Structure 1
Amino acid sequence: MQGACNVALLLVLMTPFSFFPIAASAQQAAEHYPDRPIRILLPFAAGGSTDGPMRVLAKHVSESLKQPVIIDYRPGAGGTLATQTVYSMKPDGYTLAVAVAGVYRMPYTMKINWDPSSDLTYVIGITGYAFGVVVPASSPFKTMNDMIAYAKQHPGVVTYGTPGVATTNHLTMERVAMKFGVKFNHIPYKGSGESLQALMAGQVDSAAETSAFVPLVQTGKLRVLTVWGQERMPRFPQIPTLRELGIDIVQSSPWGLVAPKGTDPAIVRKLHDAFKEAMGKEDFKKMLAQFDMTPEYRSSADFQAFAAAAMKNEKATIEQLGLNLKQ
């Protein structure tokens, strides 16, 4: 009996120390992080106003953390494929994703069994897009009102490209159509690069796009009909906002970086601090300026709070439009 008690006592004494190797291993991993390349999954095809800024940040973070930071393109699923992939990855800090507004619509646009606002680790909020509607320079549509008037007379004929189904671009255009009682024909692509290429090739009449269109407008190949910001773009002061057209919509669609749920907080801090430092670099600010974008820094906690609020807002938008997008 006494022998059994001694064995039990020995097990009790040993129990606290049985977790030490695991805790020490986790701590050691965080201290030595990163010791191999980091991948950032980008939710659109190469090119455009997400790719450019992320490439600049990746360069600086690579220098800071002394490991390669690789951009891995994962277009598809309305800009959510990258985040869906990260959700199922090992939470070791070596795979991140750019999370865009479509992520917060996922519960309402597809069948998933997890919550984007609580089942991801939010690292840092980075910026938001500048949006607008563009047409070829040869288009008969000189203004947004021209395009709307034609759509009223020819329902479903006017086509517009976007980076995908259920993107901010798509849903905002549908809100515009609802406001004016018209029907557009939506043509989804895998990213801004593809959408603008299709517009240039005459495959669509217009494109609802991020400011990746800016260089093409500056060279005279495209024309801007409207912008979606709070104010007119300084670069195109003659182009009205949606609000000036009588549509109470302001759209910037903030985005940032997420990691798998359960990522070590010490690793998250390292990533957050490295990216925040990179956001202060002049070449990053200049790259954003090329697309009429500005830094919109959010801490890890603030970014997660933003995600929770965004999910509620996106649900309301889906319901307002009467769209049942779940497959």
Structure 2
Amino acid sequence: MTSLHLNRRDWLKLAAAAGTSALAPSLARAQAWPAKPIRLVVPFAPGGSSEIVARSTAAELTKLLGVSVFVENKPGGAGNIAMGEVARADDNHTLILGHIGTLAVNPYIFPKLPYDPNKDFRAISLLSKVPSLYVVHPDLPARNLKEFVALAKGKPGKLNYGSAGNGSAGHLAFEYLKATTGTFITHVPYRGSGPQITDLLSGRLDAAAVGAPAILQFIKTGKVRCIATGTTQRIPQLPDVPTVAEQGYPGFEMTQWYGLLAPATLPPPAAARLAEMTIKAVRSPSSTERMSADAALVVGSSPEEFARFIAQEQQRWKPIVARAAIKPD
């Protein structure tokens, strides 16, 4: 990640100290940016938590920046295709939704990536953390995690769970649960959350770990049953559903997260303005209301905080990926 992250006040101070002569062009470029609509690439298929977070943020950024910020879904390759494309973008008006998988997991499951998560991008802001909810089809005779674990242990490999793909947040969440509970449950990877949820609702899948925004509506209507949350505390939307930790596995925590990234070539003044507007966007009352309704936790961090968070997550997931022997498709 580029280490230089200056906000507008910093640039003004530096300009004053230098007599404004050297930095005046940079300041002018910062004020002029953006000069055209901004493309926000989501490296996954429509229908998942990423879609909700991205569109909510884009709507608010459109108001604050004065240009259209439009979302473009570009799934494939566990997010690698889109990440590689945006890493090479040089128009200064292309952004990407960063994710636990593309930033903290893919570097350890793919022998070669078309991007370097630590050099090719500039961290802008951690947008949101999304609770992972462990759900089953209503026909499965398991009303809580204890019953589900007993069922899985009684039929090793017979139960299955779906995910949005190898290395996806749902894949990681369920492998983490399997390792914690000592169960063997067959993984069925899909190409995106939408197809996975469709098969879960139809009963072709027994279980899944899904981000709250994408699955909450189906839990409330009884189309799937939530047997546990991956949060440290129960979520307000499902007050009667205990956490994994409450059900016999202390210390367990699993949340997905999403952040905004720009190519490393985005000039620091433009990146500083984007970071400032992004924090305002995700913390705005309308964005907070939209995301909170879907149990997504609004963050809105500084670029430095987001860069540190990515580094911490990489260290966290490296041994978990190795232990679960997660391999790409």
Check whether TM > 0.5. yes
- Is the aligned partner of 1:159 residue 2:141? no
- C-alpha distance in 2, partners of 1:177/1:121? 34
- C-alpha distance in 2, partners of 1:178/1:250? 13
- CA separation of 1:172 and 1:41: change in aligned 2, threshold 3 A: same
2:234, 2:242 within 8 Å by CA — same for their partners in 1? yes
Deviation at 1:108, TM superposition (A): 0.9
Aligned residues: 304
Structure 2 residue aligned with 1:266: 269
Structure 2 residue runs of 5 or longer lacking an equivalent are: 1-22
Deviation at 1:44, TM superposition (A): 2.1
2:123, 2:306 within 8 Å by CA — same for their partners in 1? yes
Deviation at 1:238, TM superposition (A): 2.0
- C-alpha distance in 2, partners of 1:250/1:121? 28
Q: How does 1:251-262 map to 2 (within 5 A)?
A: 251-262=254-265
Deviation at 1:301, TM superposition (A): 1.1
Computed over aligned residues only, the root mean square deviation of the Cα atoms, in angstroms, reads: 2.2
Deviation at 1:187, TM superposition (A): 1.3
- Is the aligned partner of 1:106 residue 2:106? yes
1:77, 1:165 within 8 Å by CA — same for their partners in 2? no
Larger displacement relative to structure 2 (250-259 or 109-118): 109-118
Larger displacement relative to structure 2 (242-251 or 99-108): 242-251
- Scaled by the length of structure 2, what TM-score is found? 0.85
2:84, 2:115 within 8 Å by CA — same for their partners in 1? no
Deviation at 1:87, TM superposition (A): 1.4
Deviation at 1:80, TM superposition (A): 4.3
- C-alpha distance in 2, partners of 1:254/1:324? 19
Q: How does 1:1-327 map to 2 (within 5 A)?
A: 29-90=29-90, 92-102=91-101, 103-110=103-110, 111-112=112-113, 115-211=116-212, 212-247=214-249, 248-321=251-324, 323=325, 325=327
- Scaled by the length of structure 1, what TM-score is found? 0.86
- C-alpha distance in 2, partners of 1:151/1:181? 10
- C-alpha distance in 1, partners of 2:116/2:53? 28
Structure 1 residue aligned with 2:12: none
- 1:238-281: CA deviation from partner (whole Å, max 9, x where unpaired): 21211123333212233210111121011101211222111232
1:42, 1:82 within 8 Å by CA — same for their partners in 2? yes
Deviation at 1:291, TM superposition (A): 1.6
- C-alpha distance in 1, partners of 2:76/2:245? 30
- CA separation of 1:141 and 1:41: change in aligned 2, threshold 3 A: same
- CA separation of 1:113 and 1:93: change in aligned 2, threshold 3 A: closer
Percent identity, please.
Answer: 27
